[in-house]
Each structure stands twice: as structure tokens, then as C-alpha cells.
Amino acid sequence: MSRREAHPTPVTYARFEIRPRRFLRREDAAFYIDVSPTKFDQMVADGRMPKPCRIDGCVRWDIRKLDMAADLISDPEEATNGREIEI
């Protein structure tokens, strides 16, 4: 096995294409917040992550809502500045 095969670069594991996207599929949304798809499903079910929207029958998560939810998880007080927000 060559050295390159033994130690693949991080690019080998990258799942996102290099282009901006506003809406993400389930697997990409889970990858974006750094959890498994199963854990992501649990987080959606318990309200820590937002519910998806439908675009012509396709289920997608809004990346901005994912960011807001992640902000609430990492620092609830700072994220809301004392205000309640809906995700």
C-alpha cells in the first residue's frame, strides 16, 4: 500500500461540493452539524434541530435554521440575547 493510500487527505472524505447551498439533504445536514444521520433524526424529533421543509416533494433543511439551532445548543443565552426564537 502506498503512503498516499495509507493516509488519505481530508479532501478524500469531503462530502460537500464546493458551491454554496441554502438547503441540505438529511445526510448533508447531519454532516454539517457533525453528527450521524441517526443522531440527527433524534435531534429533529426532540426539537434540538429544526424540522425540514418540502421543496417539490424533496425533504430539505434550511442551513440558516441549522445554524440557529446549533447556536442554541452551544450557548443558549448568547444565541438569543434574552429573546425566545423559533426554529
Sketch the domain layout of the chain as residue ranges.
Answer: 22-87
Min mean pLDDT across 31-35, 62-66, 69-73, 78-82 is at: 78-82
C-alpha cell, 56: 417539490
In percent, the amount of the chain with pLDDT more than 70 equals: 64
66 contacts: CB under 8 Å, gap ≥ 6 = 24, 29, 32, 33, 49, 50
pLDDT confidence tier of residue 80, bands split at 50, 70 and 90 = low
pLDDT confidence tier of residue 74, bands split at 50, 70 and 90 = confident
Question: Could you report how far apart the first and last alpha carbons of the chain are, in Å?
Answer: 48
pLDDT confidence tier of residue 40, bands split at 50, 70 and 90 = very high
CATH code for the part of the protein at 22-87: 1.10.1660
